[in-house]
Amino acid sequence: MEPIEIGIAVTGIMLVVVVLGMRVAFAAALAGVVGLIWIFWSKKGYDGDQFLWAVTVAVKTAGQVPHSKVSSQALSLIPTFILIGYLAYYAGLTQALFEAAKRWVAWVPGGLAVSTVFATAGFAAVSGASVATAAVFARIAIPEMLKIGYDKRFAAGVVAASGTLASLIPPSALLVIYAIIVEQDVGKLLLAGFVPGMFSAIVYVVLIIGLAMTIKGFGPPVSGFTWRERFVSLPPALPIVFVVVTIVFFVYNPFGGDAWGTPTEGGAIGAFLVFLVALYRGMRWPELKDALLETAKLSVMIFSIIWGVLIYVRFLGFADLPSAFADWITSLTMSPMLILICILLAYAVLGMFMDAIGMLLLTLPVVYPAVMALNGGVGVSAADSAFGMNGQMCAIWFGILVVKMAEFCLITPPIGLNCFVVAGVRDDISVQDVFKGVTPFFVADAVTIGLLVAFPAIVLWLPAQV
């Protein structure tokens, strides 16, 4: 078999194994090692005496990946951003955010659900993990909504869907992973996530208000807060605003000139500031230990997936599958935009069976070169491109689109991770109830993705300013 045929065969087997239930990290690493052995042995004509040589070379090749790739400074962003989120939770900042949002916007139809969306968007600005966001607000927001008569399925659905905003609003672990895989500027990608993230939140809010206005008793508003109570709720939530502004100023230097530091340093400063706030608000050793342990668990999970998938990516390089796929995509007679839409639809289907991180890591090494080739290549100018943007901007735009698709996959059955997290936190709500509750948000996400595809300026305006 030719290397390209080996690449297709091993990839197909790996996807089947993942769908059957094997963890992505282990399936990808195993596929990568087996594929490398197969390719090296095929070059020796499948000589039985050379099989041990092929195994040795394959293992050595795979063994170089974890350290050489994961020692990248950009990856240190992930644990610092996750730590910010957990420290903010144990410092009580999430409860303060929700209380402030409730007092200011709960008077609108579907007010508590709207408050949940805005509070999760605020928390997403200091947390890079959707799972953590969903778990936190399942404890805070769902009891408040049930207390005033919300349907438990919709209350759970609001939290599960709103938790996905952490995948797009910086700091986002998924955007960092995307930047590393496709070798793009982490800072610009994080900056590009702000406007689409807030745009997604606004679409959710419009959906909730629309449902509350058309269905009687769907989402009763909450009134009775005085202006004094509203203003009193703001100071406890201000530390999150201060941390976000500090990170943005440090990394992007809005006054012009060079940045004051790297995104990694900005994340470390943000974590230190939230740590000080948490100490001031009474956090003690048990809470700090829990925050550190939860950060370590989630970081190890992410890094394990990255290690495994990067071994598989090394195998893809030897099989030359990315180049072959890019050549095939560009040879199609369909319009580039139609092909892009088909790729996004394929992500929607694949996300039903895989977690977001694994899906992006497994597909990007093949799909990203194809999309860049569709646009005209990495170095193409905006005037000569298919999508009306240069190579770097196309990489940023596509990154936001695939991360938004990953958000969508966090709430789609049967693997929607956020839905399982919410059900796990709430014993009185089943996974089936959560999936039913998030159904309206499928429409909202489809509208958002369609608008991001149709109007790339929503994504590209802010990164174009720096």
Q: Per residue, what are the HEC states of 371-396?
A: HHHHHCCCCCCCCCCCCCCCHHHHHH
Beta carbons of 19 and 353 less than 8 angstroms apart? yes
Element housing 301 (H / E): helix 285-319
Q: What is the pLDDT of residue 114?
A: 92
Q: What sections of 20-129 are H helices per DSSP?
A: 24-43, 51-63, 65-70, 77-90, 93-105, 111-124
Amino acid letter, 462 = L
For residue 466, the model assigns a pLDDT of 67
Residue 221 preceded by cis peptide, ω within 30:
no
Identify the segments of the chain with pLDDT beneath 70.
66, 68-74, 128, 252-259, 466
* pLDDT tens, position by position, 142-173: 988 888 888 889 999 999 999 888 888 877 77
> Hey, what amino acid is at 283?
M
Tokens of 366: 């093949």
Tokens encoding 430? 């089943």
**Alpha-carbon distance values, 402 to 164, 174, 327, 375, 453 (Å):** 13, 10, 21, 16, 11
The reported pTM is 0.83
Q: How many Å apart are CA 75 and CA 71, to the nearest integer?
A: 7
- Contacts (Cβ under 8 Å, ≥6 apart) of 107: 221, 222, 223, 225
Q: Is the peptide bond before 414 cis (omega within 30 degrees of 0)?
A: yes
Instruction: Kindly tell me the sign of the dihedral angle through the C-alpha atoms of 416, 344, 205, 460.
Output: positive
**CB neighbours of 176 closer than 8 A, spacing ≥ 6?**
74, 75, 77, 78, 81, 128, 186, 189, 190
Write down the pLDDT at residue 397. Answer: 94
Q: Give the burial class of 20: count Cβ atoms within 10 A of its Cβ; 0-12 exposed, 13-18 middle, 19 or more buried.
A: exposed
Burial of residue 355 (number of CB atoms within 10 Å: 0-12, 13-18, 19+): buried
The Cβ of residue 12 has, within 10 Å, a number of other Cβ atoms equal to 11
The confidence score (pLDDT) of residue 395 equals 93
Q: What is the pLDDT of residue 161?
A: 92
Q: Are 43 and 358 in contact (CB under 8 A)?
A: no
